Each structure stands twice: as structure tokens, then as C-alpha cells.
Structure 1
Amino acid sequence: MASSTVRPDNEGHDIAARLLLSAARLSYDPAAEVDWDTPLDKEFHGQSPEWNSLYGTSYWNEMSEEQRKELTRQESASVASTGIWFEMILQQMVLRDMYAKDPTDPRFQWALTEIADECRHSIMFARGAQKLGAPAYRPKRAVLELGRAFKTVGFGEAAYAGILVAEEVLDVMQRDWMRDERVVPFVRTINNIHVVEESRHMKFARDETLRRLEHAGRARRGFHALVVAIASYYIVTSLVSPDVYVKAGLDPVRARREAAANEHYKAQMRASCAGLMEFLATARLLTRPALFFYKRANLI
């Protein structure tokens, strides 16, 4: 198992150099690519209904089609807002990791390219949520403060494993949304841009995580395994703000109760994280304390 984590230093350079070339060939400008001008067509969903937190519940079955569409639009905006929150954390961690490093190193240049991508993505998500008619959904105050702690105590592999956690969870659901003709076209475009560009981020994050862990001792590996697992728990449990139910005109108490017991949604989340969990196992980051949080978040 340990040998699988070996990553020669020149291999990391080569991967970063290839990613820089890929970004030069295929990157998007959301300001030009996304149709921001066409008014929102409320005949469309904001996400694939099967990814909604209430899909398959008795409450979902009682809702009108108009209510379902409104709820999917609000949940799509909530996911986008959570993405902005965590991308801002990751940008700070990566920038700090690259502080005073060799600027001629392709890894340094790729890190700045990735940060630039994330800035564009955050603006894109913000404009998308606004167009969906959503308020500024934010995680709970306690979670916001835990985010401050995470970006302070996490370093090295925690930054890159954190990127994987945030992006791989979104990747599977957004691949479904971008192909789904029931989803409003501008959201499909946003998801397509994010999926294409984040695939490069995830490649770099996997390689950096393994490279940073190559010589990590048991204590360091265990510490970061737990830090990343706790971050995962709060990311996933913050994707759907309870306020979306109020905005969609639902009974928030009943909606939260049924969402919490929704086995279909839990199964969707576990499926979306199958690849992530396999990677974390390879990196020996699925320690017993970490598994506790992944199970609580229904990721495994």
C-alpha cells in the first residue's frame, strides 16, 4: 500500500505542465459563455429532480409541479452558495501553500491558474444563484467559524484533499444536471464549465495529496485524515440550507424532517463519493475516526 503513494518530484512537475497546457487549450469565460440576459424560464428545474433533498418523500409527492421546480431552483442556488464558501477557503489554503515557492515551477504556476479558475467559478455561481431568484444562502455561523479554523490548521495535503472532497461531491451531481434537459439551460452551461475545469483541479489535487503524504508519519496522516473528514461532514451537510424550504413555500419543520430521513438522497450522496472514498483509502486517509464523520455525512 505504501508504495502506491510514491510520487517522483519530476512527475509532479510534468502533471502541472500538462494541466497548464490543457487550461490554455480549453478554458471558459463565464461572462461570455453563460446566457445571463435571457429571463429565467420557470418551466425548468434548477437541478435534476432526483438530486433534490425531498425527492421520493411523501412531501415531494404532495407538492405541485410548480413547487417542485421552485425547490430545485432554490437547492441549486444553495449548492452554488456553499461551493463559493468552500472555494474561498481552498483558495486561501493553496495560496498560503505556494507562498515564497519557486515561481518558475509549473506547480506554482498551475496553483495560481487554479485560483484564477476558482475566482471565475465563484462569480459564476453567484450570478447563477441571483438569476435563480435565490437569497444569499450561507452555512450556519458555527460552520463559518469552523471554516476559519480549517483554513488555519490545515496545510499541505489537507488543502489538496479538501479540494477533492468539495469538488468530487459536486462533480457527479453536476454531470447529471448538465445533461438533463429538464434543467434550465444557463444552469446546464454553468455546470458544464465547472465540470470541465474542475477535472484538472482534481487531477492536481490527487497527485499533490499523494506526494505530500509520501513521507508523512502516522500522527500527521491521522491528523489530516480527521481534519479532512470533519471538513467533508460540514461541506455536505451545508449543501442544502434549511431556508430553501421557506423560500419554496414549504413547511420547513416537516421538510427538514423528511429530508433527514430520505434514503434516496443518502444513496445519491454515497454514489457520488464512491471514487473519492476509493482514493482516500488508497491514500490511507480512511482512519477509524475519519470514517465516523464520513458515515455521519452519508458518504460511505
Structure 2
Amino acid sequence: MASATAGSDAAPTQSDRDDVARRLLHSSEALSYDPAQEVDWETPLDTSYHGASPEWSTLYGTSYWAEMTPEQQRELTRQEAASVASTGIWFEMILQQMMLRDFYAKDPTEPAFQWALTEIADECRHSIMFARGAAKLRAPAYRPRRLVIELGRVFKTLAFGEAAYAAILVAEEVLDVMQRDWMRDERVVPFVRTINNIHVVEESRHMKFAREETRTRLAGSSRLRRQINALVIAIVSYVIVTSMVHKKVYANAGLDPERATREAKGNEHHKSLLRSSCSGLMEFLGSAGLLTKTSMWFYKRANLL
């Protein structure tokens, strides 16, 4: 992993940024999906499938998991997948507002402007897709806690530059890694695998853009600015990751919520899975000078480091 004090990679030039945006636009034209047509919304839910790879369950590997029936395990992963989808919707709405604000009144003839609108359109489709998927999994609306919702409201209003784009990158990278596992897993219900495949393909372009924008906005920034933004990004990352699986999933899966919450918090398997899946993300943040001692405390608390 790169040092926490490492400098950022060379900032992309305007020509570089235009080239990246053009390539992303061309990629979007060649390979994009319409979830309304691609996902099988009509076939009734087959409860013999999981909603996510069981290894990604917050209880996998615990004594409680070993006591659960296969039916309970499958129901839990379906509720957890719906919770992750709901958290994804919440953050995608933040993302859309930040990007609209960032490109407000800028030159619409520039490729980056047109790509930003393309990404926002993608996120709108993804949010609808996640909402329909959660409903088909027979799950309620798993909203973040009120405090988290209000913190998100403040963040989307005030965040700019590298803080906004690096936070976008964190949310997308964490989802990307787990969904790559889910979309290949034949134990996962087919329509969820399709949803995950669509999201992985289209989010790969969004992550490319977020990395480029993070490097660009960091160019020439002061040490103090990097320190502040490193902390903001880490706090946002902590909030996102700890909000992915709502504690109500356990009761809705027919489990004892107090015991399930306790065992999930101590689940070393799940913590290890998060850390290993985010190694590339942490390497990027380190290379950009966005891993500081203070920020690393939050990443460790979120089990990302």
C-alpha cells in the first residue's frame, strides 16, 4: 500500500480529461442496459435462492449462522441484499445532486459535461432498478438512521472537488467488489445476478471518472486541504459502510435481532472480507495523499483497512 503521506499521481491535463470523457461516452453508447427490459421482473421470487452470496452475509461464519436453517440463511441474504440496495439508492441520490451542482452553468459542449449528465442518467436507472429489486425480494424500505440522513443532506450540500468525487469512488468501489461476487454466484436468485451485472458494467465507467476527477481536483492542493478532505472522505466512508445492512434485516428474517447484531459486530470473517475487497481502493487513496493517521482510524473502524 502506498504511504499515507505519498503525493498524488500527476494530474490529468484538460486534454487528458476530455479524452477520458469521450471514451466513457463512447463506451456508454456501446454498452449500456435498460433494466426495465433486461431484468426478469415478471417471474415470481424463487425462495430456493439466496439474495447475495452467503459468504457476504454479516452472520456467515458465526455460531448463529451455523444454527440457522437453510431457509433462514436464504431469507437473511435476501433481506441483506435489499438493505444494500436501499443504501445504494440513498447514496446515488446524493451523488446525482453533487454532480449536478458541480457542472451547473459549465460549458455543455465539453465532453466532461456530457459525461456527467450520462452518469446521472445511469444513476437514475440504477436507483429505480434497486428499488424494484428490493420490492421483489419482499423487503421493506431500509432507510439509514435519521442522523445519517441529515448528515448526508449536509454533505451533498457542502461537499465539492476531491471530497465529493473520492466519496463517490468509495461508495461505488465497495459495492462493486461484493456485486462482482454476487453476479457470478449461481446460488443467487437470477434477477439479482442480472441487476448486479448491469451495475458492475456501468459503474466501472463511473469509477474511472471519479478517479480522474479526484486526481484533477487535488492538483496543487495544500497539505491542510488534503488533511481536511482525507478526514471528510474517511468519515463519509465509515457512514456508508456501517449503513449498508440495517439492523432490522435480522428481525425481518425471523432472527433474534439483539443476538444477531452482537454476533455480526464481532464477525471476523466479514471484517476480513471487507478489508481484502478494499485493498485497491486504499492503495489509490494512499497514492493520492488521502490516507492520513486520522483518516485511517475511521477506515479501520469501518473494517476497510
User: How high is the TM-score relative to the length of structure 2?
Assistant: 0.97
C-alpha distance in 2 between matches for 1:242 and 1:4: 40
Structure 2 partner of 1:243? 248
Structure 1 partner of 2:172? 167
Structure 2 partner of 1:295? 300
- Shift of residue 163 of structure 1? 1.4
Q: Is the 8 A contact 1:154 1:224 kept in 2?
A: no
Q: Is the 8 A contact 1:54 1:258 kept in 2?
A: yes
Structure 2 partner of 1:69? 74
CA RMSD of aligned residues (A): 0.8
1:213 aligns with 2:223: no
- Amino acid across the alignment from 2:80: E
Structure 2 partner of 1:265? 270
- Shift of residue 191 of structure 1? 0.1
- Shift of residue 173 of structure 1? 0.5
Structure 2 partner of 1:80? 85
Structure 2 partner of 1:114? 119
1:192 aligns with 2:164: no
Q: Is the 8 A contact 2:234 2:295 kept in 1?
A: yes
Q: Considering Cα pairs closer than 8 Å and 6+ residues apart, tell me whether 1 or 2 has the greater RCO.
A: 2
User: How high is the TM-score relative to the length of structure 1?
Assistant: 0.99
Structure 2 partner of 1:143? 148
Structure 2 partner of 1:49? 54
Runs (4+) off by over 6 Å: none
- Shift of residue 73 of structure 1? 0.2
- Amino acid across the alignment from 1:281: G
Which of 230, 233, 237 is the aligned partner of 2:238?
Answer: 233
| Percent of paired sites with the same residue | 72
Q: Is the 8 A contact 2:21 2:111 kept in 1?
A: yes
1:28 aligns with 2:33: yes
C-alpha distance in 1 between matches for 2:231 and 2:10: 19
Q: Is the 8 A contact 2:8 2:287 kept in 1?
A: no
1:89 aligns with 2:94: yes
Q: Number of aligned pairs?
A: 300
Q: Deviations over 1:238-269 (max 9, x none)?
A: 01000000100100000000000000000111
Q: Is the 8 A contact 2:53 2:181 kept in 1?
A: yes
> Structure 2 regions of 5+ residues with no counterpart?
1-5
- Shift of residue 9 of structure 1? 1.3
C-alpha distance in 2 between matches for 1:92 and 1:226: 22
1:11 aligns with 2:16: yes
C-alpha distance in 2 between matches for 1:39 and 1:3: 50
